[in-house]
Amino acid sequence: MHEMALTEGVLRLLEDQAAAQHFERVRKVWLEIGELSTVDPEALRFCFEAIRAGTLAEDAALEIIRTPGRAYCMDCSKAVRVVQRYDSCPDCGGDRLQVTGGDEMRVKELEVE
Ligand SMILES: [Zn+2]
């Protein structure tokens, strides 16, 4: 389950931000997880709740935002919406798609005190 390592990464990032911006507690975390990423949001939530005790995010609420998958079709030269990484183009059926978004995970916003 690579979500545990990812969650640890998120917590480290929060600690770095806390040091840089001088806050002590995180109240809420908005985490963007792309539909095309390999991250399972429920597994990530589970990990977050499992390891946050004793950290600055102990009472933090976790808000997960799914960002849509986007790709560029090299056959019809259009930006298209994809649901899975190896989808073919919804417009022309071509399979030469280049993923341009929705394959990442990032902390979008924090509510801190
Ligand atoms: Zn196409």
CA of 84 to the centre of ligand 1 (A): 15
Which pLDDT does position 64 carry in this prediction?
A: 97
| Domains along the chain with CATH numbers | 3-68+102-112 (3.30.2320.50)
Extract the tokens encoding 81: 């919406």
CA of 37 to the centre of ligand 1 (A): 22
Spatial separation of the C-alpha atoms in residues 7 and 94, rounded to whole Å: 36
CA of 96 to the centre of ligand 1 (A): 8
Extract the tokens encoding 30: 């908005």
Which pLDDT does position 20 carry in this prediction?
A: 97
CA of 14 to the centre of ligand 1 (A): 40
DSSP characters for 11-50? HHHHHHHHHHHT---EEEEEEEEETTSS--HHHHHHHHHH
CA of 54 to the centre of ligand 1 (A): 50
The answer to whether 49 and 61 have CB atoms below 8 angstroms apart is no
| Residues facing residue 77 across a β-bridge | none
Q: Can you give the pTM of this predicted structure?
A: 0.86
Which pLDDT does position 1 carry in this prediction?
A: 64
CA of 95 to the centre of ligand 1 (A): 8
| Tens of each residue's pLDDT in the chain, 113 residues | 699 999 999 999 999 999 999 999 999 999 999 999 999 999 999 999 999 999 999 999 999 999 999 999 999 999 999 998 889 999 999 999 999 999 999 999 999 99
CA of 79 to the centre of ligand 1 (A): 8
Spatial separation of the C-alpha atoms in residues 93 and 96, rounded to whole Å: 9
φ, ψ for residue 100, nearest 5 deg = -115, -10
Which pLDDT does position 86 carry in this prediction?
A: 87
CA of 36 to the centre of ligand 1 (A): 18
Helices (H) and strands (E) in the chain, counts: 2, 6
